[in-house]
């Protein structure tokens, strides 16, 4: 079962790598025209192609890349002489930091708002939470980012508009500089978790064991937290993990907006330069994160089920 899922995951990665190759090839121009500019003579471009091994057919280059990649060699960047590994390792920590910090803020907040909304369901408070969180996910990510920037960086000047973290920064400084990206990621993911928590709990409130708890004279708050929530975990976990995956992967745009030196920004830069090895490697990392997190979600859902945890 697990093996089958892992196999499917690997197949997904393979398919994605092929899609990325075809996709980037289909864009106009390549790394040489991007570097040398529109005005470059045909001879210079041809020489550049020769130098970077781009004169061979796409399929041959793909197979070669795949062969090297499977052996752990991600190749060199086409734009400069650095290895892809070097470029990525400088950035991946930043992206994971951003995702982890956003998850730490968004997950507890999303779930507890969901619990409170379920407790005060169909009141003004419940509707207020729903309307607010749904509004923030209904507008595009970059729009939320710019609004927050306009408010907190330009108007009130609480946070810096550019989140240019560097390795020399201390913990608090880094935390402070990442403020706006974290806030943006929280706002665009919290609604899913809040709505799913609320829906799963409300769904369970009609169960006989909830009625039993009421007839035992248990207070409403305790009924929600102690009797409904433990049985609602499976769907909540799915959404939470999907959102973590989103925070790792969906940061692409957010990183660009806030000039945050993460993998997403690297990927966007590399696509602009048609820097295939870097695009391919970052795409593989994002895809692998997605596949692994989804696998984790399924495993956790099984663990959350008391019937499966405590066998007869």
Partner 1 sequence: MTESLLEIKDILIEADIEGEWKPIVNSLSMTLKRGEVIGLIGESGAGKSTFGLCALGYTKPGCRIVSGSIKLDGQELVGQPEAELRNIRGNKVAYVAQSAAASFNPAHTLLDQFSEAPIQHGKMVASEASVRGREIFAQLDLPEPDTIGERYPHQVSGGQLQRAMTAMALGSNPDIIIFDEPTTALDVTTQIEVLSAIKEAVKSRNVAAIYITHDLAVVAQMADRIMVLRYGDLVEEGDAREMLANPKQEYTQKLLAVRSLRDNKIIDDAQNTILEIHDVTARYPGTNIDVLSNISIKLEKGKTVAVVGESGSGKSTLARVITGLLPPSKGTVSFRGEVLPASLKEKSRDNLRSIQMIYQMADVAMNPRQRIREIIGRPVEFYLGKTGAENEARVLELMKQIEIPENFIDRFPGQLSGGEKQRICIARALAAEPELIICDEVTSALDQLVAEGILDLLQNLQNELNVSYLFITHDLATVKAIADEIVVMYQGKIVEQGPKAQILEPPYEDYTELLLSSVPEMDPDWLDDLVERRKRGEAPTSETLGQR
Q: Which residues of this chain interact with partner 1, rule CB under 8 A?
A: 206-209, 211-219, 222, 226-227, 230-231, 306-307, 310, 312
Whole-angstrom distance, CA of residue 67 vs CA of residue 88? 20
Q: What share of the chain is helix, strand, coil (3-state, %, to 5)?
A: 75, 0, 20
Instruction: Return the SS3 of 126.
Output: helix
Q: Of 127 and 219, which has the nearer Cβ to partner 1? A: 219
Q: Give just the sign of the alpha carbon dihedral 140, 141, 147, 150.
A: negative
Measuring CA to CA, which residue among 208, 158, 152, 157 is closest to residue 184?
152
Whole-angstrom distance, CA of residue 211 vs CA of residue 132? 31
The encoded tokens of residue 308 equal 């499966």
Q: Of 70 and 206, which has the nearer Cβ to partner 1? A: 206
Report in angstroms how near the CB of residue 1 gets to partner 1 at its nearest: 11
Report in angstroms how near the CB of residue 210 gets to partner 1 at its nearest: 8
Report in angstroms how near the CB of residue 308 gets to partner 1 at its nearest: 10
Whole-angstrom distance, CA of residue 111 vs CA of residue 73? 41
Helix H segments across 139-178?
Answer: 141-148, 171-177
Q: Of 151 and 308, which has the nearer Cβ to partner 1? A: 308
Report in angstroms how near the CB of residue 303 gets to partner 1 at its nearest: 13
Q: Of 53 and 211, which has the nearer Cβ to partner 1? A: 211
Q: Specify the residue for token string 């210079």.
A: 44
Report in angstroms how near the CB of residue 307 gets to partner 1 at its nearest: 5
Q: Of 142 and 209, which has the nearer Cβ to partner 1? A: 209
Whole-angstrom distance, CA of residue 196 vs CA of residue 202? 10
Report in angstroms how near the CB of residue 190 gets to partner 1 at its nearest: 25
Q: At what angle do helices 179-204 and 141-148 cross, to 10 degrees?
A: 120
Q: Of 4 and 155, which has the nearer Cβ to partner 1? A: 4
């Amino acid at each position: 079962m697990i093996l089958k899922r892992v196999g499917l995951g690997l197949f997904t990665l393979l398919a994605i790598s092929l899609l990325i190759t075809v996709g980037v090839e289909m864009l106009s121009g390549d790394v040489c025209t991007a570097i040398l500019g529109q005005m470059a003579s045909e001879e210079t471009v041809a020489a550049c192609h020769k130098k970077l091994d781009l004169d061979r057919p796409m399929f041959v280059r793909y197979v070669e890349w795949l062969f090297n990649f499977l052996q752990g060699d991600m190749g060199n960047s086409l734009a400069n002489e650095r290895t892809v590994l070097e470029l990525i390792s400088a950035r991946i920590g930043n992206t994971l930091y951003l995702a982890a910090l956003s998850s730490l803020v968004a997950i507890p907040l999303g779930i507890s708002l969901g619990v409170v909304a379920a407790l005060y369901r169909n009141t003004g408070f419940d509707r207020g939470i729903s309307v607010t969180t749904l509004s923030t996910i209904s507008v595009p990510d970059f729009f939320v980012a710019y609004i927050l920037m306009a408010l907190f960086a330009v108007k009130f000047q609480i946070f810096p508009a550019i989140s240019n973290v560097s390795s020399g920064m201390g913990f608090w400084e880094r935390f402070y500089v990442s403020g706006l990206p974290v806030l943006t990621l929280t706002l665009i993911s919290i609604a899913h978790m809040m709505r799913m928590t609320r829906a799963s709990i409300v769904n369970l409130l009609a169960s006989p064991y909830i009625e039993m708890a009421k007839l035992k004279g248990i207070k409403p708050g305790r009924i929600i937290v102690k009797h409904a929530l433990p049985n609602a975990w499976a769907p909540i976990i799915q959404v939470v993990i999907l959102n973590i995956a989103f925070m790792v992967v969906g940061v692409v745009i957010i990183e660009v907006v806030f000039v945050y030196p993460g993998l997403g920004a690297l990927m966007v830069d590399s696509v602009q330069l048609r820097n295939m090895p870097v695009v391919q490697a970052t795409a593989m990392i994002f895809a692998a994160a997605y596949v692994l997190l989804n696998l984790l979600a399924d495993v956790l859902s099984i663990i959350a089920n008391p019937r499966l945890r405590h066998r007869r």
